[in-house]
A and B are shown apart, each in its own frame.
Chain A
Amino acid sequence: MKILEINNCKKQFGDLEVLKDISLSVEQGQVISIIGPSGSGKSTLLRCATLLETMDGGDLIYLGQYAAKDDGNGTAVYASDQELKQIRMNFGLVFQNFNLFPHYSVLKNIMEAPVLVQKRDKAEVKAEAMELLRKMGLEDKADAYPYQLSGGQQQRVSIARALAMKPNILFFDEPTSALDPELTGEILKVIRDLAAEKMTMVIVTHEMAFARDVSDHIIFMDGGVIVEQGDPQQIINDPKEERTKAFLSRF
C-alpha cells in the first residue's frame, strides 16, 4: 500500500529553483533515507511533504487522498483547509531542533495534541504516552521540562510526541544534526527500533552508515534533483553517478 506519493514536485524561492521535478513514493513499512549536500533541497522536500511549505507544482498524495494536485499546467492546487487538516493526521515530523514546547512538561508535550486535536480520551492518551516514554527510556522524565533534559532526551521526547499521534508515516529532518556525537547513537537506536517495528519512515540524514543499515531505499539529491537512488548497499558502497561518488568520498 502506498502511504505517500509525490509526483513532479517543483518549488522555487524567488529565482532559486530548489526542487526541480522530484517524484517519490513510499510503501507501507518502507524506510527511505534522503542524503545529499546542504542546499540540495532535501529539507525543502520534507517541508513540502509535511505541508510546511507549499509546492509550486506537482501532486502530493497520502493514502490515495490528494493534498495537492497538479492542474496540468504545472501549478499545484491544494485541497481545502478541512481536507488538509485530515491529511495532516497521516504524518508526523521530527525536527532537527526538536521544537518541544518549553512551557509544557514532557508528558504534556506528548499528550496535548492527541487530546486537543484528535479529541481522544485523556486517560487512554496518558497511558499511551507513558508507554511511549518507557520505550524511549524516559519514564522518569514525564514531569520534567524540556530545559532539564539533554539534547538526546529532548529529541526522544519529540519522537514520542510525533508517535503519540499514531501517524502512518514519520518524517525525520536531520534528527541528529543538533546533537553531539555521543548523543547521536541513542537517537539512531530509537529509529532502528522503529524500523524493526515496520514504522514507515522518511529520513533526511548525514549519517551515511546509519542510512545504509536502516533503510530499504536511499535517495541521493543534489541541486534540486534526484541524482541517484536505489539499494542502500549499492548507493553507499558502489555509487554509479560521479556526483554521488564525489559526495560520498568525503565520509
Chain B
Amino acid sequence: MTFATMLEQMSTGMLRTVGIFVLTLIFSMPLGMLVAFARMSKNRIIKNIARIYISVLRGTPLMLQLLVVYFAPFYIWGANIGGYRFAAVIIGFALNYAAYFAEIYRGGIESIPKGQYEAAAVLGYTKSQTFMRIVLPQVAKNIMPAVTNEVITLVKDTSLAFTLAYQEVFTIGKQIAAAQTSFMPFVIAGVFYYIANAVVAFVMEIFEKKMNYYR
C-alpha cells in the first residue's frame, strides 16, 4: 500500500472522526445545560437523579458506556442493532460529555454573585431575562478555559469509537497497521489528532479573546 492510499483511507476516517466530534458537541452541550439545571433544582428527586447520572457517567469508563449503549438494546429487548452502530457512538459520547459539561455549567452558574440576581430583580428583569442577559454571558466567559479542556479531550476520546468498530481514523489506522505491518498509520493518526486540536485551541482562543473586553 502506498503512502498516498494510506493517507486517503485515513482521511476518510478523519472525516468520520470530525463527525463524531461535531455531533457530540451539538448534543452534549445543551443536554449538559439540562442536567446542570436538574442538578441545581430545588426538587430533591430531580436533583438526586441528576446527581446519580453525573456520578455514574463520570465514574465508569467511556469505553464501557459505549459498549452498554450499543449492546444493551440487543441483550435487554433482543433488538436488531445492525444499523445502530453510528447512533450508538453519538449517544454514548453525548451522554458522557453531558455529565462533564453539566458540572462545568453548574460551577459557572454558581460562581455568579447573588448581587447580580438582586440588582436585576430590583430593576424588574424577569427570571428568564436575568438568566439570558445577565447570568449566561458571564457564565460563558468564566467557563471558557474548562470547556476548552473538555473539547480538546473529546477530540482524542473520539478514538474510543474503535470499541464499536466504527470506521473512524484510529480504527482504520489500526487495521492498516496490522495488515501492512507498518508503523506509519499511527504517525498519520497522531498528526491528524494534533492538527485537529491545534484548530480547536485556535478557535477557542478567539472566543476567549472576544470575551476579554471586561473583567
Contacts and interface: CB of A to CB of B under 8 A. Distances in A.
B215 A88 contact: no
Contacts of B129: 116-117
B215 A147 contact: yes
B214 A102 contact: yes
Interface centre among A97, A113, A147 (most CB of B within 10 A): A113
A91 B113 CA distance: 22
A50 to B, nearest CB: 6
A102 B118 contact: no
A99 B116 contact: yes
A95 B119 CA distance: 8
A85 interface: yes
A97 B115 contact: yes
Contact of B213 (A85, A145, A161): A145
Interface in B84-131: 113, 115-116, 118-125, 129
A52 interface: yes
Contacts of A100: 119
A146 interface: yes
Nearest to A102: B214
Nearest to A158: B119
B214 A112 contact: no
Interface residues of A, number: 28
A147 B133 CA distance: 18
B125 A101 contact: no
A209 interface: no
Contact of B123 (A113, A145, A147): A113
B156 interface: no
Contacts of A95: 115, 118-119
Contacts of A92: 122
Contacts of B215: 102, 145, 147
B213 A118 contact: no
Nearest to B129: A116
Contacts of A112: 133
Interface string B118-156: 111111110001000110011001000000000000000
B118 A99 contact: yes
15 contacts: A51-B122, A85-B124, A91-B122, A97-B115, A99-B115, A101-B116, A103-B137, A112-B133, A113-B124, A116-B129, A116-B133, A118-B124, A145-B215, A158-B119, A161-B123
Contacts of B119: 95, 99-101, 158
A165 interface: yes
A117 B124 contact: yes
B121 A52 contact: yes
A154 B126 CA distance: 24
Nearest to A81: B126
Contacts of B118: 52, 95, 99
Contacts of B116: 99, 101
Nearest to B115: A99
Interface in A100-127: 100-103, 112-113, 116-118
A26 interface: no
A99 B129 CA distance: 17
Interface string A199-218: 00000000000000000000
Interface string A75-106: 00000000001001101110101011111000
Nearest to B119: A99
In this complex, the member of B119, B137, B141 whose beta carbon has the largest number of chain A beta carbons within 10 angstroms is B119
Q: Which of B118, B120, B122, B133 has the most CB of A within 10 A?
A: B122
Nearest to B121: A52
Given A103-B138, A118-B124, 7 more contacts: A95-B115, A99-B116, A101-B119, A102-B138, A113-B123, A113-B125, A116-B133
